[in-house]
Structure formats: structure tokens, C-alpha cells
Structure 1
Amino acid sequence: MIKPMSVKVIPNCLTLLRLLATPVAVWLIGENMMATAFWLFAAAALTDAVDGAIAKLFNACTRIGGYLDPLADKALLVGVYVSLGFADHLPRWLVILVVFRDIVIVGGAVLYELAIGHLVMRPLLISKVNTLGQIVLASMVLGGHGFDMDIEKALDLMIGFVSGTVVLSAVAYGWVWGRAALVGGDDA
């Protein structure tokens, strides 16, 4: 008899789908198929909210999900941002800023683990706001180009918002982790 799929598997399956959607989204942007890229990106971004909600609601958090989820998030956003930058749909300075922030956060977490000890990762509110802003901006760019909408002024505002929250979140992580390192805590 086949056992029904455990609820614990669903969030990880959604996360894997998001990870697998990344190279397809990058390819679609490279082929200038922006409307299709918009829908794929929107669906992939939605899986991030859904997998997290299921994991919390049904107590279905897993160790592998704890690693895969942020990896899938970073892969999707960095892949889409780099592709949009190469296609000249996003300013390259913003792409560099977004990617550099992610490198600093991941590198900082690794250094903390190696030099200080175990790091309990807790996303900061400013980081969640930044991620939401990045998703909205990428959706606006993809949708604007895919559906031939003139949204330049709104894009300029979102670029300012995203660049500001990128910097604030990087500084906030540095502050929290630095403070935790000084007091010797693992609860950053």
C-alpha cells in the first residue's frame, strides 16, 4: 500500500520547484520573453510564501528546508536581477549592490560560524522588506516589458526603495552579528 505524501514534503517540493524555475526564468529573460518570465517569476515568488506558510502552519519545518529555502530565494532573485542587468532592464549598479549584499550576508554567516560558533539565522524585518521590494521591482520590470506598460516613474521609485533597503539590511545584519560576536552569543 502506498502511503500518502507527508505534509512535511510539500514545502520542500515547492522550494525545489522555485530552485528549478530559476534557470528557466533566466533563459526566458535572455530570450526577451518577458511576459512568460513575469508569470514564471510571479509563480516562483508565490511558492516562497506558500512553502513558508505550510511549514509553519503544519509544523513541517525540516533541516533540509532550512537550507534549501534561502538558497532558492537567493538563486531566484540573483538570477533574475543579473539577467535583467545584462539585458539593460535594471541599472547595473543596483544589480551589483543586490548581489554584493547577498555575498556579504552569506560570507558573514560563514565567517561567524568559523570564527565565533553556531549562528542561528533569523531574518530581520528590514531584510524581509528588502526581499519583498526586490520581488516587486523584478515583477514590475518583467511586467512592464512583457506587457508593454510605461511605468518608468514607478520603477525609479522602486529602484530607490530597493537600493535603500539593501543598504539598511546589510548594515542591520552587520550590527546584529557584530553585537552577538562581542557578547559571545549564537543567537544572532
Structure 2
Amino acid sequence: MNLPNSITMSRIFSVPLLIWMLSPHFPHGGWHGEQEILTSLFFILVSISDGVDGYLARRRGQITTMGMLLDPLADKLLITSAYIALVQYNPHVVKPWIAVLVIGREFLVSGLRSIASTEGFTIAASDLGKLKTVIQIVSVVAAILAHGWYEWRFGWFIMPVDLIAVVGIYFMALVSTISAVDYFVAFWRKIEKASSGRRKHDNDFVLSRGKKDLPAAKNLT
């Protein structure tokens, strides 16, 4: 197994650890915010590895079928498990319907990708989809930190941690919905184009067969 795929596999294996870190069983060292800080740093580190394995695979020419399969799987496992765990960890910020929306969106996109693959085309990730990924990471970190703090005070400056988390989560839900619709529209256009191409090919085939049969029909008259 090459290095990019090893990094991808480590991201998959990090999912149970993330769930444990977001559970009441995580040991506390005695200082306030220890669980929130450590879990946030861990999630950020694992999320960054998503870009690292892709960069290394392209740089080293090690893009493999296994990597193409595992990379999106690792991303979906990480983000969906984070939101599911946050429903219990910080229910004030992450409502159950948020987790259902995130999981449903990932199922939809995965299904459309599978259909597109069988039809012989792919749908590239849009800028909106990339923005969605960044917002998801930020909203997860904000929701984790909001479990330990309502706000941060730096002298006269006050950072409303809880408010940022709530706004981030709902903004993520909005962007995820819009990106899913955008992906579906792109998928539908490609399907229509592929169907039109097949219909045109079938019509041309029928016409060409008709022209070949025409002389024979004349001889019968």
C-alpha cells in the first residue's frame, strides 16, 4: 500500500477515535476545555489529511483505483460520524435533523455518482461543493468548542463561540442543500445529453438501414 492510501486508511481508522473523544468516556485532565481543545485539534488534523493524500497521490503519480474508492468513503465516514456524535455531545447546536440532512446529502451524491459511472461519465466537484466541505469542517470545530464555552473574552473583544457555532451549523445546512441541488442539476444535464446522444445514434442507425434496404425494395416492384 502506497503512502497516499495509507493516509486515507488512517483517516478511516480515526473515526472510532473521534467518536470516543466526543463521548462522556473521554478522560479529563482536570482543566476546563481539555476535551474540546484536543478533539478540535484532532478533527482539524484528520481533515487536513484529506488534502495531503490527494496531493501526494497526484505528485507521485500514485492515483489508484483503491484510493479513488477509499478517499470519498473516508471523507463521508469522518464528517457523518462527527455530526452524529455531536447530536449527543452538543444537542443545543446540532439538532438530529442536521445529521439526517448531512447523511442524506452524502447518500444522494454517492448514488448519483454511481449512476453517472454506469452511464460512462463523471461529475467534477464544483466550487460550491468545495465550499461546503470547508464550512462543514469549520462548523464541526465550532460546535465542539461551543460545548465548553459560550463566549471568549479577550479584553474588550468578545467572541461569541456559541453564536458562531449555531450560525455555522445552519449555514452549513443551507450550503449543503444548495450544493446537493446543484449536483443533481449537473447530473440531470449530463444524463439528458447522454440520452440525446443515444437517441440520435439510434435514429441515424435506423435511417442508414433504411437506405440500404431501399434498392432491394425497388427491385421487388
**What's the TM-score, normalizing by structure 2?**
0.72
Given that 2:116 and 2:122 are in contact with CA atoms closer than 8 Å, whether structure 1 keeps it comes out as no
Q: Does 1:107 align with 2:111?
A: yes
The question of whether the paired residues in 2 share the 8 Å contact of 1:113 and 1:119 is answered with: yes
C-alpha displacement at 1:141, in angstroms? 1.6
The equivalent residue for 1:81 is 83
Name the counterpart of 1:170. Answer: 180
What stretches of structure 1 move > 4 A for 4+ residues in a row? Answer: none
Q: In the alignment, which of 166, 169, 178 is matched to residue 156 of structure 1?
A: 166
**Map 1:9-158 → 2, pairs under 5 A:** 9-31=2-24, 33-87=35-89, 88=91, 89-113=93-117, 117-145=119-147, 148=149, 150=151, 151-158=161-168
Report the structure number with the largest CA radius of gyration. Answer: 2
Structure-2 separation of matches of 1:26 and 1:68: 20
Answer whether contact 1:85 1:91 (CA < 8 A) is retained.
Answer: yes
Q: Are the equivalent residues in 2 in contact too, given 1:85–1:95 (CA < 8 A)?
A: yes
> How far has the Cα of 1:113 moved from its partner?
4.2
Looking at structure 2, the residues matched to 171 and 142 of structure 1 have their Cα atoms a distance apart, in angstroms, of 28
**How many percent of aligned residue pairs carry the same amino acid?**
25
Does the CA-based 8 Å contact 1:35-1:145 persist in structure 2?
no
Aligned-residue RMSD, C-alpha: 2.0
Task: Give the Å deviation of 1:112.
Answer: 4.0
Contact 2:83 2:99 in 1 (8 A): yes
Pairwise CA distance, 1:58: 2.6
User: 1:60-90: CA deviations, max 9, x gaps?
Assistant: 2111111111000000000011110133151
Q: TM-score, normalised by structure 1?
A: 0.84
Q: Contact 1:21 / 1:40 at 8 angstroms: preserved in 2? A: no
Which ranges of structure 2 fall in alignment gaps of 5 or more residues?
27-34, 152-160, 196-221
